[in-house]
Amino acid sequence: MSVVTSSLSNDQQKKLLSLLGPVTLHLLYKATVHGFTAADFHSRCDKQGPTIIVAYNSTGFVFGAYTTKDYTQSGEDVIDKKAFLYSLNTPGKEPLKVVGVGEQCAFTDGATGPNYGALVFLPGDTPAFQSHQGTSFKFDEAAMHGKNLVLTEFEVYRAEVLGPMLPKPWRKNQWTAETKNRLAEIIQSYKPAIQTVQQARILLVGPVGAGKSSFFNSINSVFRGNMTCQAIAGTADKSVTTQFRTYTIKAGKGGKALPLILCDTMGLEEKADAGLDIEDLVSIYKGHLKDRYQFAPSNPLQLDAPGYRKVVTVSDMIHCVVYVVDTCKASILSQNMRDKFASIRKKTNQLGLPQILLMTKVDEACPLVANDLKNVYQSLYIQRKARELSESLGIPLSCVLPVKNYSDELELEQDTDILLFTAVQQMLNFADSFFENQELQTEGAHQQHASLTGIKSPRLTPE
Protein backbone atom coordinates (compact mmCIF):
# COMPACT_ATOMS: atom_id res chain seq x y z
CA MET A 1 0.00 0.00 0.00
CA SER A 2 1.40 3.39 -1.02
CA VAL A 3 1.92 6.03 1.64
CA VAL A 4 -0.50 8.99 1.52
CA THR A 5 1.49 12.21 1.83
CA SER A 6 0.57 15.81 2.54
CA SER A 7 0.46 18.39 -0.25
CA LEU A 8 1.52 21.17 2.14
CA SER A 9 4.92 22.71 1.54
CA ASN A 10 7.17 23.26 4.56
CA ASP A 11 6.41 26.99 4.45
CA GLN A 12 2.66 26.37 4.27
CA GLN A 13 2.82 23.93 7.17
CA LYS A 14 4.72 26.49 9.28
CA LYS A 15 2.09 29.12 8.53
CA LEU A 16 -0.68 26.69 9.43
CA LEU A 17 0.98 25.80 12.73
CA SER A 18 1.37 29.49 13.52
CA LEU A 19 -2.44 29.65 13.55
CA LEU A 20 -2.93 26.46 15.56
CA GLY A 21 -0.25 26.72 18.22
CA PRO A 22 1.36 23.67 19.85
CA VAL A 23 -0.14 20.83 17.80
CA THR A 24 1.00 18.04 15.52
CA LEU A 25 -0.87 17.40 12.27
CA HIS A 26 -2.00 13.92 11.24
CA LEU A 27 -3.34 13.50 7.70
CA LEU A 28 -6.74 11.77 7.86
CA TYR A 29 -8.16 12.27 4.40
CA LYS A 30 -6.86 13.21 0.95
CA ALA A 31 -9.56 13.57 -1.70
CA THR A 32 -7.41 12.69 -4.73
CA VAL A 33 -6.65 9.37 -3.01
CA HIS A 34 -9.83 8.63 -1.04
CA GLY A 35 -12.46 10.33 -3.21
CA PHE A 36 -14.21 13.72 -3.49
CA THR A 37 -17.44 12.60 -1.81
CA ALA A 38 -19.11 13.43 1.48
CA ALA A 39 -19.19 9.73 2.38
CA ASP A 40 -15.42 9.46 1.82
CA PHE A 41 -14.90 12.51 4.01
CA HIS A 42 -17.07 11.27 6.89
CA SER A 43 -15.67 7.74 6.81
CA ARG A 44 -12.23 9.09 7.72
CA CYS A 45 -12.91 12.35 9.57
CA ASP A 46 -15.89 11.74 11.90
CA LYS A 47 -15.24 11.69 15.65
CA GLN A 48 -11.59 12.70 15.31
CA GLY A 49 -11.60 15.68 17.68
CA PRO A 50 -10.02 18.98 16.55
CA THR A 51 -9.46 18.97 12.78
CA ILE A 52 -8.37 21.40 10.09
CA ILE A 53 -9.47 21.40 6.46
CA VAL A 54 -6.85 22.30 3.85
CA ALA A 55 -8.34 23.06 0.44
CA TYR A 56 -6.36 23.77 -2.73
CA ASN A 57 -7.84 25.41 -5.84
CA SER A 58 -6.55 25.64 -9.41
CA THR A 59 -5.39 29.25 -8.88
CA GLY A 60 -2.93 28.08 -6.23
CA PHE A 61 -4.78 29.26 -3.12
CA VAL A 62 -4.52 27.21 0.09
CA PHE A 63 -7.36 27.84 2.55
CA GLY A 64 -9.83 26.08 4.80
CA ALA A 65 -11.48 25.79 8.20
CA TYR A 66 -10.61 24.68 11.73
CA THR A 67 -12.89 23.32 14.43
CA THR A 68 -12.36 21.76 17.84
CA LYS A 69 -15.66 19.86 17.59
CA ASP A 70 -16.34 16.40 16.17
CA TYR A 71 -18.08 15.74 12.87
CA THR A 72 -20.86 13.25 13.72
CA GLN A 73 -23.55 13.77 11.02
CA SER A 74 -26.01 14.80 13.74
CA GLY A 75 -27.84 17.23 11.45
CA GLU A 76 -27.46 20.00 14.05
CA ASP A 77 -25.83 23.40 14.02
CA VAL A 78 -22.57 23.30 16.02
CA ILE A 79 -21.28 26.29 18.01
CA ASP A 80 -17.50 26.43 18.38
CA LYS A 81 -15.98 29.69 19.64
CA LYS A 82 -12.51 28.47 18.64
CA ALA A 83 -13.42 27.71 15.03
CA PHE A 84 -11.98 29.88 12.26
CA LEU A 85 -11.50 30.11 8.51
CA TYR A 86 -8.12 30.94 7.04
CA SER A 87 -6.05 31.49 3.89
CA LEU A 88 -2.29 31.12 3.55
CA ASN A 89 -2.04 33.24 0.40
CA THR A 90 -0.91 36.55 1.89
CA PRO A 91 2.59 37.22 0.46
CA GLY A 92 4.95 38.83 2.94
CA LYS A 93 2.40 38.76 5.75
CA GLU A 94 1.02 36.30 8.27
CA PRO A 95 -1.90 34.09 7.16
CA LEU A 96 -5.42 35.51 6.92
CA LYS A 97 -7.52 34.31 9.86
CA VAL A 98 -11.28 34.88 10.08
CA VAL A 99 -12.94 34.14 13.41
CA GLY A 100 -16.64 33.56 13.91
CA VAL A 101 -19.18 36.28 14.57
CA GLY A 102 -20.70 36.22 18.06
CA GLU A 103 -22.58 33.09 19.14
CA GLN A 104 -23.46 31.95 15.62
CA CYS A 105 -22.90 28.30 14.67
CA ALA A 106 -19.52 27.34 13.24
CA PHE A 107 -20.77 24.59 10.92
CA THR A 108 -23.81 22.46 10.16
CA ASP A 109 -23.04 18.86 11.12
CA GLY A 110 -24.84 17.07 8.31
CA ALA A 111 -24.16 14.09 6.06
CA THR A 112 -22.90 16.39 3.30
CA GLY A 113 -19.41 17.78 2.89
CA PRO A 114 -18.18 20.23 5.57
CA ASN A 115 -20.62 23.17 5.67
CA TYR A 116 -19.32 26.34 7.34
CA GLY A 117 -22.01 28.55 5.85
CA ALA A 118 -19.64 30.95 4.14
CA LEU A 119 -17.65 27.99 2.77
CA VAL A 120 -19.35 24.73 1.77
CA PHE A 121 -17.02 21.96 0.61
CA LEU A 122 -17.71 19.03 -1.76
CA PRO A 123 -21.25 20.09 -2.75
CA GLY A 124 -23.02 17.27 -4.60
CA ASP A 125 -19.91 15.09 -4.21
CA THR A 126 -17.88 17.23 -6.60
CA PRO A 127 -14.30 18.60 -6.41
CA ALA A 128 -15.53 22.10 -5.72
CA PHE A 129 -16.77 24.43 -2.99
CA GLN A 130 -19.36 27.16 -2.60
CA SER A 131 -18.55 30.59 -1.25
CA HIS A 132 -20.98 33.19 0.04
CA GLN A 133 -21.12 35.51 2.99
CA GLY A 134 -22.80 33.69 5.84
CA THR A 135 -23.86 34.88 9.26
CA SER A 136 -20.96 33.15 11.04
CA PHE A 137 -17.93 34.20 9.01
CA LYS A 138 -17.29 37.31 6.92
CA PHE A 139 -14.32 37.76 4.61
CA ASP A 140 -13.10 39.15 1.31
CA GLU A 141 -13.47 36.37 -1.27
CA ALA A 142 -10.54 37.53 -3.38
CA ALA A 143 -8.22 37.41 -0.37
CA MET A 144 -9.60 34.09 0.88
CA HIS A 145 -9.55 31.97 -2.29
CA GLY A 146 -9.20 34.21 -5.34
CA LYS A 147 -12.84 33.48 -6.33
CA ASN A 148 -11.81 30.21 -7.97
CA LEU A 149 -14.30 27.57 -6.82
CA VAL A 150 -12.64 24.48 -8.35
CA LEU A 151 -10.68 22.19 -6.01
CA THR A 152 -7.53 20.42 -7.13
CA GLU A 153 -7.02 18.83 -3.72
CA PHE A 154 -8.87 18.60 -0.42
CA GLU A 155 -7.23 17.35 2.80
CA VAL A 156 -8.26 17.03 6.43
CA TYR A 157 -5.82 16.77 9.33
CA ARG A 158 -6.34 15.90 12.97
CA ALA A 159 -4.75 18.65 15.09
CA GLU A 160 -3.37 16.84 18.11
CA VAL A 161 -2.24 19.05 20.98
CA LEU A 162 1.40 18.52 21.91
CA GLY A 163 1.88 17.02 25.31
CA PRO A 164 2.33 16.08 27.96
CA MET A 165 4.60 18.72 29.46
CA LEU A 166 8.30 18.04 29.80
CA PRO A 167 9.08 15.77 32.77
CA LYS A 168 11.21 18.55 34.24
CA PRO A 169 11.67 22.24 33.39
CA TRP A 170 14.30 23.02 30.74
CA ARG A 171 15.27 25.95 32.98
CA LYS A 172 15.06 26.25 36.73
CA ASN A 173 13.02 29.10 38.16
CA GLN A 174 11.53 29.92 41.55
CA TRP A 175 8.03 31.40 41.38
CA THR A 176 7.90 33.03 44.80
CA ALA A 177 7.50 36.51 46.26
CA GLU A 178 11.04 36.18 47.63
CA THR A 179 12.36 35.60 44.10
CA LYS A 180 10.54 38.67 42.80
CA ASN A 181 11.83 40.86 45.63
CA ARG A 182 15.38 39.54 45.26
CA LEU A 183 15.41 40.27 41.50
CA ALA A 184 13.98 43.76 42.06
CA GLU A 185 16.73 44.49 44.59
CA ILE A 186 19.45 43.21 42.22
CA ILE A 187 18.18 45.50 39.45
CA GLN A 188 17.78 48.57 41.67
CA SER A 189 21.21 48.19 43.28
CA TYR A 190 23.06 47.48 40.03
CA LYS A 191 26.15 49.59 39.31
CA PRO A 192 27.88 49.57 35.90
CA ALA A 193 31.43 48.24 35.96
CA ILE A 194 32.81 51.52 34.59
CA GLN A 195 32.83 54.28 37.20
CA THR A 196 31.93 57.09 34.78
CA VAL A 197 28.74 55.30 33.58
CA GLN A 198 25.64 55.66 35.72
CA GLN A 199 23.08 53.67 33.70
CA ALA A 200 23.25 50.70 31.34
CA ARG A 201 21.67 51.43 27.96
CA ILE A 202 19.62 48.55 26.54
CA LEU A 203 18.38 48.77 22.93
CA LEU A 204 15.24 46.89 21.81
CA VAL A 205 15.16 45.80 18.15
CA GLY A 206 12.52 43.72 16.39
CA PRO A 207 9.76 43.44 13.78
CA VAL A 208 6.69 45.65 13.87
CA GLY A 209 4.24 44.40 16.52
CA ALA A 210 6.74 42.11 18.28
CA GLY A 211 6.27 43.88 21.62
CA LYS A 212 9.24 46.25 22.08
CA SER A 213 7.21 49.21 23.38
CA SER A 214 4.99 46.85 25.37
CA PHE A 215 8.07 45.40 27.08
CA PHE A 216 9.13 48.84 28.28
CA ASN A 217 5.59 49.63 29.46
CA SER A 218 5.51 46.31 31.34
CA ILE A 219 8.85 46.93 33.10
CA ASN A 220 7.80 50.47 33.91
CA SER A 221 4.48 49.23 35.31
CA VAL A 222 6.13 46.70 37.60
CA PHE A 223 8.49 49.25 39.16
CA ARG A 224 5.79 51.94 39.26
CA GLY A 225 3.39 49.56 41.03
CA ASN A 226 0.50 50.09 38.61
CA MET A 227 -0.23 49.83 34.90
CA THR A 228 1.39 52.54 32.75
CA CYS A 229 1.46 53.32 29.03
CA GLN A 230 4.32 55.76 28.50
CA ALA A 231 5.56 54.19 25.24
CA ILE A 232 3.09 54.04 22.36
CA ALA A 233 2.32 50.41 21.54
CA GLY A 234 0.05 48.93 18.91
CA THR A 235 -0.59 46.18 16.38
CA ALA A 236 -0.49 48.11 13.09
CA ASP A 237 1.24 46.76 9.97
CA LYS A 238 3.62 49.73 10.06
CA SER A 239 5.74 50.74 13.03
CA VAL A 240 3.87 52.75 15.68
CA THR A 241 7.24 53.96 16.99
CA THR A 242 8.66 56.61 14.63
CA GLN A 243 11.27 58.15 16.93
CA PHE A 244 14.34 56.93 18.74
CA ARG A 245 13.29 57.04 22.40
CA THR A 246 15.27 56.58 25.59
CA TYR A 247 13.20 55.73 28.66
CA THR A 248 14.31 56.07 32.26
CA ILE A 249 12.46 53.90 34.77
CA LYS A 250 11.72 55.02 38.31
CA ALA A 251 11.03 52.92 41.39
CA GLY A 252 7.58 54.16 42.39
CA LYS A 253 5.88 57.41 41.45
CA GLY A 254 8.49 60.15 41.66
CA GLY A 255 11.04 57.64 42.95
CA LYS A 256 14.71 57.15 42.25
CA ALA A 257 15.73 56.38 38.66
CA LEU A 258 16.87 52.80 38.05
CA PRO A 259 20.42 52.22 36.77
CA LEU A 260 19.23 51.30 33.28
CA ILE A 261 17.76 53.04 30.25
CA LEU A 262 15.55 51.15 27.80
CA CYS A 263 15.86 52.45 24.23
CA ASP A 264 13.08 51.91 21.72
CA THR A 265 13.45 52.00 17.94
CA MET A 266 11.32 51.96 14.84
CA GLY A 267 10.23 48.41 14.01
CA LEU A 268 11.83 46.22 11.35
CA GLU A 269 9.67 45.82 8.22
CA GLU A 270 9.69 43.36 5.31
CA LYS A 271 10.66 45.81 2.57
CA ALA A 272 14.26 46.93 2.24
CA ASP A 273 13.28 50.61 2.14
CA ALA A 274 10.80 50.46 5.03
CA GLY A 275 11.16 50.40 8.79
CA LEU A 276 14.39 50.87 10.70
CA ASP A 277 17.47 51.55 8.52
CA ILE A 278 20.50 49.47 9.51
CA GLU A 279 22.88 52.45 9.17
CA ASP A 280 20.68 54.39 11.61
CA LEU A 281 20.98 51.40 13.92
CA VAL A 282 24.77 51.60 13.82
CA SER A 283 24.54 55.30 14.71
CA ILE A 284 22.37 54.34 17.69
CA TYR A 285 24.90 51.70 18.78
CA LYS A 286 27.69 54.27 18.74
CA GLY A 287 25.69 56.82 20.75
CA HIS A 288 25.21 59.39 17.98
CA LEU A 289 21.39 59.59 18.08
CA LYS A 290 19.73 61.83 20.64
CA ASP A 291 16.41 61.09 22.30
CA ARG A 292 13.36 61.80 20.07
CA TYR A 293 15.30 61.63 16.83
CA GLN A 294 12.69 61.23 14.06
CA PHE A 295 13.42 58.23 11.83
CA ALA A 296 13.38 58.62 8.02
CA PRO A 297 13.99 55.18 6.43
CA SER A 298 14.53 56.67 2.97
CA ASN A 299 17.13 59.13 4.32
CA PRO A 300 19.59 57.68 6.89
CA LEU A 301 21.03 60.04 9.48
CA GLN A 302 23.66 62.48 8.14
CA LEU A 303 26.58 63.82 10.18
CA ASP A 304 25.25 67.39 10.00
CA ALA A 305 21.61 66.50 10.65
CA PRO A 306 19.72 67.81 13.71
CA GLY A 307 19.76 65.19 16.44
CA TYR A 308 23.25 63.91 15.59
CA ARG A 309 25.61 63.80 18.57
CA LYS A 310 29.17 64.23 17.29
CA VAL A 311 31.01 63.81 20.58
CA VAL A 312 30.04 60.63 22.41
CA THR A 313 31.11 58.92 25.62
CA VAL A 314 30.70 55.34 26.82
CA SER A 315 27.54 56.52 28.64
CA ASP A 316 25.93 57.47 25.31
CA MET A 317 26.65 54.12 23.64
CA ILE A 318 24.38 51.07 23.62
CA HIS A 319 25.66 48.45 26.06
CA CYS A 320 23.40 45.49 25.19
CA VAL A 321 21.15 44.74 22.18
CA VAL A 322 17.89 42.88 22.74
CA TYR A 323 16.08 41.35 19.77
CA VAL A 324 12.32 41.04 20.31
CA VAL A 325 10.29 38.38 18.42
CA ASP A 326 6.64 37.35 18.72
CA THR A 327 6.68 33.64 19.67
CA CYS A 328 3.46 33.06 17.70
CA LYS A 329 5.28 34.10 14.51
CA ALA A 330 8.57 32.32 15.16
CA SER A 331 7.90 29.72 12.45
CA ILE A 332 6.79 32.19 9.79
CA LEU A 333 9.52 34.80 9.87
CA SER A 334 10.03 35.58 6.19
CA GLN A 335 13.37 35.18 4.46
CA ASN A 336 13.52 38.97 4.08
CA MET A 337 13.16 39.38 7.84
CA ARG A 338 15.75 36.67 8.54
CA ASP A 339 18.14 38.41 6.15
CA LYS A 340 17.60 41.69 8.01
CA PHE A 341 18.35 40.01 11.31
CA ALA A 342 21.50 38.47 9.81
CA SER A 343 22.71 41.88 8.60
CA ILE A 344 22.01 43.42 11.99
CA ARG A 345 23.76 40.57 13.80
CA LYS A 346 26.84 41.05 11.61
CA LYS A 347 27.02 44.78 12.39
CA THR A 348 26.36 44.16 16.07
CA ASN A 349 29.08 41.52 16.32
CA GLN A 350 31.57 43.83 14.62
CA LEU A 351 30.99 46.40 17.36
CA GLY A 352 31.37 43.80 20.11
CA LEU A 353 27.89 44.29 21.57
CA PRO A 354 26.34 41.46 23.62
CA GLN A 355 22.95 40.25 22.37
CA ILE A 356 19.82 38.70 23.87
CA LEU A 357 16.62 37.49 22.23
CA LEU A 358 13.24 38.00 23.92
CA MET A 359 10.37 35.65 23.00
CA THR A 360 7.21 37.65 23.69
CA LYS A 361 3.56 36.52 23.85
CA VAL A 362 4.43 33.05 25.15
CA ASP A 363 0.96 32.83 26.70
CA GLU A 364 -0.68 33.38 23.30
CA ALA A 365 1.58 30.81 21.67
CA CYS A 366 0.92 27.94 24.10
CA PRO A 367 -2.36 27.10 25.90
CA LEU A 368 -0.43 25.38 28.73
CA VAL A 369 1.38 28.65 29.42
CA ALA A 370 -1.82 30.67 29.05
CA ASN A 371 -3.38 28.46 31.71
CA ASP A 372 -0.41 28.89 34.07
CA LEU A 373 2.63 31.03 33.27
CA LYS A 374 4.74 28.83 35.55
CA ASN A 375 4.51 26.16 32.81
CA VAL A 376 6.70 28.26 30.49
CA TYR A 377 9.82 26.19 31.18
CA GLN A 378 7.94 22.88 31.09
CA SER A 379 6.19 23.56 27.80
CA LEU A 380 7.63 21.36 25.06
CA TYR A 381 6.24 23.81 22.50
CA ILE A 382 7.95 26.86 24.01
CA GLN A 383 11.22 24.93 24.28
CA ARG A 384 10.95 24.00 20.58
CA LYS A 385 10.25 27.60 19.60
CA ALA A 386 13.25 28.78 21.64
CA ARG A 387 15.50 26.30 19.83
CA GLU A 388 13.98 27.23 16.46
CA LEU A 389 14.66 30.94 17.00
CA SER A 390 18.14 30.20 18.35
CA GLU A 391 19.05 28.29 15.19
CA SER A 392 17.37 30.57 12.64
CA LEU A 393 18.68 33.86 14.09
CA GLY A 394 22.07 32.65 15.29
CA ILE A 395 21.50 33.44 18.98
CA PRO A 396 22.77 30.90 21.56
CA LEU A 397 19.91 29.15 23.33
CA SER A 398 21.20 30.42 26.67
CA CYS A 399 20.54 33.96 25.39
CA VAL A 400 16.90 33.27 24.43
CA LEU A 401 14.45 34.42 27.13
CA PRO A 402 10.66 33.91 27.15
CA VAL A 403 8.56 36.76 28.57
CA LYS A 404 4.97 37.85 28.83
CA ASN A 405 4.20 41.55 28.49
CA TYR A 406 1.21 43.15 30.15
CA SER A 407 -1.48 43.75 27.52
CA ASP A 408 -5.09 43.50 28.70
CA GLU A 409 -4.51 43.15 32.45
CA LEU A 410 -5.46 45.82 34.96
CA GLU A 411 -3.52 44.36 37.88
CA LEU A 412 0.10 43.23 38.21
CA GLU A 413 0.79 39.50 38.51
CA GLN A 414 3.72 37.97 40.37
CA ASP A 415 4.64 35.29 37.78
CA THR A 416 4.66 37.84 34.95
CA ASP A 417 6.84 40.16 37.05
CA ILE A 418 9.35 37.38 37.75
CA LEU A 419 9.82 36.60 34.03
CA LEU A 420 10.22 40.30 33.24
CA PHE A 421 12.71 40.84 36.08
CA THR A 422 14.71 37.76 35.03
CA ALA A 423 15.05 39.21 31.52
CA VAL A 424 16.20 42.60 32.83
CA GLN A 425 18.74 40.97 35.16
CA GLN A 426 20.26 39.12 32.20
CA MET A 427 20.41 42.37 30.20
CA LEU A 428 22.39 44.01 33.00
CA ASN A 429 24.70 40.99 33.22
CA PHE A 430 25.36 41.25 29.48
CA ALA A 431 25.91 45.01 29.73
CA ASP A 432 28.63 44.28 32.30
CA SER A 433 30.33 42.09 29.68
CA PHE A 434 30.42 45.11 27.36
CA PHE A 435 31.87 47.33 30.09
CA GLU A 436 34.54 44.76 30.93
CA ASN A 437 35.55 44.56 27.26
CA GLN A 438 35.76 48.35 27.13
CA GLU A 439 38.09 48.29 30.12
CA LEU A 440 40.31 45.67 28.50
CA GLN A 441 40.47 47.63 25.24
CA THR A 442 41.26 50.84 27.10
CA GLU A 443 43.87 49.12 29.22
CA GLY A 444 45.49 47.62 26.11
CA ALA A 445 45.62 51.02 24.41
CA HIS A 446 47.12 52.63 27.52
CA GLN A 447 49.75 49.89 27.81
CA GLN A 448 50.67 50.32 24.16
CA HIS A 449 50.94 54.09 24.68
CA ALA A 450 53.08 53.56 27.79
CA SER A 451 55.45 51.21 25.97
CA LEU A 452 56.00 53.84 23.29
CA THR A 453 56.36 56.82 25.64
CA GLY A 454 57.65 55.27 28.84
CA ILE A 455 54.75 56.83 30.75
CA LYS A 456 52.56 54.64 32.91
CA SER A 457 48.85 55.29 32.20
CA PRO A 458 46.06 54.81 34.75
CA ARG A 459 43.46 52.08 34.25
CA LEU A 460 39.70 52.65 34.35
CA THR A 461 38.59 51.54 37.78
CA PRO A 462 35.24 49.86 38.40
CA GLU A 463 33.25 50.80 41.48
Distance CA 413, CA 416 (A): 6
For the ranges 85-99, 155-169, 376-390, 442-456, the lowest mean pLDDT is seen at 442-456
CA 144/CA 88 separation, integer angstroms: 8
**Pairwise CA distance, residues 394 & 398, whole Å:** 12
Model confidence pLDDT, tens digit, residues 145-181: 999 999 999 999 999 887 668 889 999 999 999 999 9
For 114-154, the pLDDT digits (tens) are 999 999 999 999 999 999 877 789 999 999 999 999 999 99
Per-residue pLDDT for 399 more than 60? yes
* pLDDT value of residue 156: 97
Contact status, residue 75 vs residue 82, Cβ threshold 8 Å:
no
Q: What is the pLDDT of residue 439?
A: 62
% of the chain beyond a pLDDT of 70: 88
- Name the amino acid, one letter, at 293: Y
pLDDT recorded at residue 99: 93
Mean pLDDT along residues 63-73: 96
| Residues 6+ away with beta carbon under 8 Å from 415 | 175, 373, 374
* Residue range 221-259, pLDDT digits in tens: 999 999 888 766 655 555 555 788 899 999 988 889 999
Mean pLDDT of 204-223: 92
pLDDT band at 438 (very low <50, low <70, confident <90, very high): confident
* Structure confidence at residue 366 (pLDDT): 87
271-287 mean pLDDT: 83
Lowest-pLDDT range of 224-228, 300-304, 367-371: 300-304
What is the pLDDT, as a whole number, of residue 138? Answer: 92
**Coil, strand or helix: which one is 330?**
helix
CA dist 2 → 5, 33, 153, 388 (Å): 9, 10, 18, 32
Domain 177-453 has CATH 1.10.3720.10: no
If residue 453 lies in a helix (H) or strand (E), which one and from where to where? helix 414-453
Across 82-102, average pLDDT: 86
pTM of the model: 0.74
CA 325 vs. chain centroid, Å, equals 3
Percent of the chain with pLDDT over 90: 63
Residue 388 reports pLDDT greater than 80: yes
- H-helix segments, 135-256: 141-145, 177-188, 212-224
Whether 261 contacts 200, CB under 8 Å: yes
More confidently predicted of 358 and 293: 358
Contact criterion met (CB below 8 Å) for 121 and 55:
yes
289, β-bridge pairs: 308
- Of 51-65, 108-122, 201-215, 444-458, which gets the smallest average pLDDT? 444-458
Confidence category of residue 91, pLDDT binned at 50, 70, 90 = low
* The pLDDT of residue 232: 63
pLDDT at 142: 93
* pLDDT 10s digits, 328-364: 888 778 788 889 999 999 999 999 999 999 999 999 8
What mean pLDDT do residues 361-385 have? 91
Buried b (16+ CB within 10 A) or exposed e, 385-415: bbebbbebbebeeebbbbbbbbeeeeeeeeb
CA distance 428 to 434: 10
Q: Where are the domains of the chain?
A: 10-161, 177-453
Asked if pLDDT for residue 14 goes beyond 90, the answer is: no
- Quote the pLDDT of residue 112: 96
* Main-chain dihedrals φ then ψ at residue 362, nearest 5 degrees: -65, -30
pLDDT tens-digit map of 441-453 = 655 544 444 443 4
Q: Tell me the average pLDDT across 426-447.
A: 77
Amino acid identity, position 229:
C
Question: Three-state DSSP class for 428?
Answer: helix
**Alpha helical stretches, state H, 175-297:** 177-188, 212-224, 278-285
- 33 pLDDT tier (thresholds 50, 70, 90): very high
**Single-letter amino acid, residue 451:** S
In terms of residues, how long is the chain?
463
- pLDDT bin (cut points 50, 70, 90) of residue 209 is confident
Instruction: Tell me what pLDDT residue 454 has.
Output: 46
Contact 225, 182 (CB under 8 A): no
Across the chain, what does the average pLDDT equal? 87
Q: Are 65 and 38 in contact (CB under 8 A)?
A: no
